[in-house]
A and B are shown apart, each in its own frame.
Chain A
Amino acid sequence: MNRRILLNTLFYIILIAFAIVFLLPIYMMLLTGIKPLNEVDLKTMWNLPENGIHFDNFIAGYKQLAPNLTNSLVMVIPEAILSSLLGSLNGYLLSKWKFRGSNLIFSLVLFGMFIPYQSILIPLVRFMQFIKLYGDIPGLVLVHIIYGIPITTLIFRNYYAGIGTEILEAGRIDGASLLGLYRYIIFPLSAPSFAVVIIWQFTQAWNEFLFAIILTNQSHWPVTVALNNLAGSQLVQWNVLMAATLLAALPTLLVYIFLGRFFLRGLMAGALKG
């Protein structure tokens, strides 16, 4: 099968070419980050470092972003945990306790996932000011949880729809109540979809920009807002900026590299159909 070998070689060449392009931005950030300050020059951007590896840029970048990285972490962890618990409960009720109109309600909730947040931004700001949650992290957490309800409910509902009703009926015969069924049957089976939802919500909230810039004041800025500010500043050199960008992207990158398998496996388990 010479033709097959030829074809496979061609496929590999295409795949490797794409892989190089996909890795180019990461390579550029790393390369720039490990050069000492005196070797940084836009004209020699792609040259390898000449005098060993230095971490000056990363240290300078970290100094710029440290408080904001903390802000993001403090916001994202409670957000991911609470919204996955809420989504799990909603998904269970909407898939196993259907009532008249529950499908319609689900569709109406689902629509909330697609709306451009510019269309609710003015009322949101007024409302958050009114309930005194404007400007700080707790308010941002609340907003992320509420606008996360559609997607988390969707993922859990689709996952639970794949769990047969027989097992629940067996539980009912044993006298389990609505919450008992959840506690002893559904919840222990939910690990794959919890993995998907926690990773998803973590990534979404970490990377989100619009709510973050509108709803927090400067001392509570999450990392995306601070990074954008850094990029617009004339005072920060681009090599520090590249190192800072890599630092800002690192948590979600690490989550993806180490937990991405669970994410994909959870998706394959029917967590997100289409």
Chain B
Amino acid sequence: MSQGFVLNRSQLTLALALMAVGIVSIFILNGTELDIAGKNFTSIGLLLGGLLFYSGILVIVGMFKNETYLSVALLLPSIVAVAIFVYGFIAWSIRVSLSKWKGLLPDYTWVGLQQYTDLFHDPRFLIDVRNTGVFTVGFIAGCLIIGLGLAILLDQRLKGEALFRGIFLFPMSISFIASGVVWGWLMNPATGDRITGINLIFKMLHLDFLISLWQTTPPPWGMAFTVIPAVWQLSGFTMALYLGGLRSISEEIREAARVDGASEFQIYRYIILPLLQPVTLSAVIILGHMSLKIFDLIVAIGRKDLRLDVPGIYMWNTTFDGTNYAQGAAIGVLMLISVAILVVPYLIYSMRTEAEL
């Protein structure tokens, strides 16, 4: 690619004009308030001013013959935004977690790892860790088993496949809050005269032994029932992942195995399941990172029941209700570490394999 810079008068004028308008509008807006329909749009105005200035710079960078410069310049806002909002904020959170900031005014007095050691002696946090463990195991196992089972059934090319696929997938489009609210009512633990929800169905079907206390079962097993709405929402997604994997396995492989005298069961056991391992890995990463940071579903279904507490809720309580910012930050950082242990090896692995291609 050729190097060099071609000066184009009209483009330069445009660039300078854009930059000037951007700067001037920033200065004007900085001093006044921009009110549109009773809302304060000053910050958005400043952002747009900045974008005008930036587009002037883009025009100048565009005059370089080497277009890689323009490519980098166009990527820059996203990179800077992620650098600040992800990495900058993580660093800031870590700093807060090493302080003793409690109360509304920031206090960055260094206390080292004090917040973390306190958390590991905090009964509530230890319950949270256990609950997250129960939830993660139940959620991943439930989604993988039901997802794979449904995918294998749908892979038999039965009539009505599209309809079933749609029915199993639609809960994915519903929010954790809505799902938690509905399942909270379905899994109503009331007994005797006030029996209702799924328990009432069990009673009407004379399946009384199935009647359950659901999420109010004594710890730690109550937590296992909060998995039900989560599995309802994401086992269809897992099924779609597996179905995609199954459909990409060529019919010839199965045919060859049949010719060799393998039964259908053996084909699945020894050929198809091993070929689906990459799908399982992706599913575990996606589902695992969701369950390690599970929050809204438990808010909606647990309704502040401390027996169903998870780190996400503790962080929210301690930070915004208890104004214990340092402890809140420490919980957030620990959640981040747990997700990073799961995800970072996978990201490095996929980056390496892609580089080999």
Contacts and interface: CB of A to CB of B under 8 A. Distances in A.
Contacts of B72: 99
Contacts of B85: 112, 120, 124, 143, 146-147
Nearest to B67: A178
Interface stretch (B12-20, B206-214, B313-321): B313-321
B71 interface: yes
Contact size range, A: 35 or more
Majority SS of interface residues in chain B? helix
Given A103-B355, A114-B289, A115-B90, A253 B173 contact: yes
Given A120-B93, A268-B244, A274-B278, A249 B178 contact: yes
A55 interface: no
A180 B84 CA distance: 30
Contacts of A262: none
Contact of B174 (A93, A114, A142, A253): A253
Contact of B351 (A89, A107, A257): A107
26 contacts: A14-B153, A23-B167, A25-B171, A43-B196, A45-B196, A46-B204, A86-B78, A105-B75, A107-B347, A112-B85, A116-B332, A116-B336, A117-B293, A118-B315, A120-B85, A122-B93, A122-B329, A127-B89, A153-B78, A209-B296, A241-B185, A242-B185, A245-B178, A248-B178, A253-B173, A256-B173
Interface of A: 8, 11-12, 14-15, 18-19, 21-25, 28-29, 42-43, 45-46, 86, 89-90, 93-94, 97, 99, 103-105, 107-112, 114-124, 127, 131-133, 136, 138-139, 142-143, 146-147, 149-150, 153, 177-179, 203, 206-210, 214, 224, 227-228, 231-232, 238, 241-242, 245, 248-249, 252-253, 255-257, 260, 264, 267-268, 274
Interface of B: 39-44, 47, 62, 67-68, 70-72, 74-75, 78-79, 81-82, 85-90, 92-93, 96, 146, 150, 153-154, 156, 158, 164, 166-179, 181-186, 188, 190, 193-198, 200-201, 204, 232, 236, 240-241, 244, 278-279, 282, 289, 292-293, 295-296, 299-300, 303, 311-312, 315-316, 319-320, 325, 328-329, 331-333, 335-336, 339-340, 343-344, 347-348, 351, 354-355
Given A108-B82, A119-B89, A249-B173, 15 more contacts: A22-B168, A25-B179, A42-B188, A99-B71, A103-B355, A114-B339, A121-B315, A123-B92, A136-B40, A146-B81, A149-B78, A177-B62, A228-B177, A249-B175, A274-B279
